[in-house]
Amino acid sequence: MNNLKNKIAVITGSNSGIGYATAKELKEQGAKVIITGRRKEAITQAATELGVTAIVADQSNIEAIENLTNKVKDTYGKIDILFINAGVVKQSTIEQATEAHFDEIININFKGAYFTLNRFIPLLNDGASVILLSSIVATKTFVGSSVYSSSKAALNSVMKTAAIELAPRNIRVNAVSPGPTQTEIMNKAGLDVATIKTIKAGLVDRIPLKLVGTAEDVAGMVAYLSGDAAKFITGTEIIMDGGMVLA
């Protein structure tokens, strides 16, 4: 497939999971891909494995975002695809939440994503596609997710406004909201195999399609939204959760 041949794509937070899978998918469809991440060793290794370009950038830091956009501008001039994927997932009840917990999530998931879009708009070619990684928790309530859910709800609101503001340039802006998705996040949380298996079984029981999504599922949707087949889609949140929000 060469649906995205010679398109220039930037993907934030791409050393593993959904970002990594999307970088692989876009490259396979012919795009020239730039991936970003906070940890130099991890993002460099991912770039080597994928055969793409890596730029170290911390989405929670405005100066780092400006440095990223300057590097992209100097090397590529303009881009065609921007997938704002970087984010963190942490839980706390409202009663137990700390300012540090609040700031970390909001600074990366919302403020960082917002200013990544802000700084990249001048680099977007007319007809470009922007995709934001949201989550079903933006609208579906879970205990302990107040700050994370708020960050994603805010992102969805910005997505709709951006879609209107950028429509005169034929730039499409959409969000993908996965439900339970198999990534390395549970392993990174230090959970043992038995615990992970129990959590998955509990999730599957709540999903009408009786399966957990994969990073590759999301990557396929991002690729679709990046291409001409989605040229009439903008300001839309694509929910990918096996029907969980319906249950």
Question: Is residue 176 within 8 Å of 222, Cβ to Cβ?
Answer: yes
Can you give the pLDDT at residue 188? 53
Burial of 5 (0-12, 13-18, 19+ CB in 10 A): exposed
**Alpha helices for 5-111 (secondary structure H):** 17-28, 40-50, 62-76, 99-105
- pLDDT(196) > 90: no
- pLDDT(175) > 70: yes
The domain spans of the chain are 8-183+212-246
Class of domain 8-183+212-246: alpha beta
DSSP 92: B
Determine the 3-state secondary structure of 33 from DSSP: strand
Q: Which residues pair with 182 in a beta bridge?
A: 214
Question: Is residue 158 within 8 Å of 109, Cβ to Cβ?
Answer: no
Question: Is residue 170 within 8 Å of 159, Cβ to Cβ?
Answer: no
Q: Give the pLDDT band (50/70/90) at residue 184.
A: low
Can you give the pLDDT at residue 205? 84
Helix, strand, coil percentages (3-state) for the chain, rounded to 5, are: 50, 20, 30
- List the catalytic residues: 148
Can you give the pLDDT at residue 200? 73
Q: Give the pLDDT band (50/70/90) at residue 221.
A: very high
For residue 8 the two structure tokens come to: 């220039």
Average pLDDT score over residue span 101-108: 95
Determine the 3-state secondary structure of 140 from DSSP: coil
Positive or negative: CA dihedral 150, 234, 36, 190: positive
- Helix (H) or strand (E) run with residue 150 in it: helix 146-166
What interhelical angle do 113-120 and 62-76 show, nearest 10? Answer: 30
Q: What is the pLDDT of residues 131-155, one digit of tens each?
A: 999 999 999 888 999 999 999 999 9
Cα diameter, the chain = 52
